[in-house]
Structure 1
């Protein structure tokens, strides 16, 4: 994995279910993983291996969904030898889901 998030960055994230009373538009997205037309936007972490967030696979906005994402599977994923990348904190600061164009487009929010 390129630019794997640091332990300190992961520790700043809310734990699973801590934000369940916050609307999807208002959820804070802490991490953005991407590879070959696929994007994972992460809002919560269990502290071990399980993220909760939004996945858009192969640019398929119609089938994109909120759900659970395995950190270990993201680490192992590669396409033609290219590994998943995690956008650096200085380029992807924590932001609300409603401010991310791809999430808005696939949810029909804009």
Structure 2
């Protein structure tokens, strides 16, 4: 495996079921493994081998799903006997919410508008968020 995550990096991930009350869109994706048209986005681990996250195999967005994968299985994958799974390094991959990962957002049918976090929503003026409610204010405003 290329760029195999260190124990230290793996120790930063939440344990299995630790984020089960977090909506899927808000789950943090800590690791991204990939090879060819396959992507594994990892959100939780048992601290040993088992990981949970989102998987897209062979660019098949229709069959992509949340589920389990083991680190040992990812290590064993080799294409043409030499091409191995890669894990994006910490220098490249930033931990982000599932909705902020384009491939996950597209396969789940989530819109970009949903991509605005609660914090960002607080910074957007009411007129932008609720144009129908502010239109009457504009009509009654003196010129």
TM-score, normalized by the shorter chain, greater than 0.5: yes
Residue in structure 1 matched with residue 34 of structure 2 by the alignment: 34
Equivalent residue runs for 1:95-106 within 5 Å: 95-106=96-107
Q: Tell me the SS of whatever aligns to 2:54.
A: strand
Q: CA deviation at 1:74?
A: 0.1
What does residue range 60-99 of structure 1 map to in structure 2 within 5 Å?
Answer: 60-80=60-80, 81-99=82-100
Pair 1:107-2:108 in alignment: yes
Q: After the TM superposition, which parts of structure 1 deviate over 6 Å for at least 4 consecutive aligned residues?
A: none
Match in the other structure for 1:44: 44
The alpha carbon displacement at 1:23 in A equals 0.2
Counterpart position of 1:57: 57
Tell me the number of residue pairs that the alignment of Structure 1 and Structure 2 aligns: 110
Q: Secondary structure at the match of 2:73?
A: helix
Give the equivalent residue in structure 1 for 2:133: none
Q: As a proportion of its length, which structure holds more helix?
A: 2
TM-aligned CA deviation for residue 90 of structure 1? 1.4
Q: State the shift of 1:44 in Å.
A: 0.1
Uncovered stretches (5+) of structure 2, i.e. residues with no partner:
112-143
Structure 2 distance, partners of 1:6, 1:70, is 15
Return the index of the structure with the highest Cα Rg.
2
**3-state SS of 2:62 partner:** coil
Deviations 1:3-50 (A, max 9, x none): 000110000000000000000000000000000100000000001110
The CA distance in 1 between the partners of 2:10 and 2:4, in whole Å, is 10
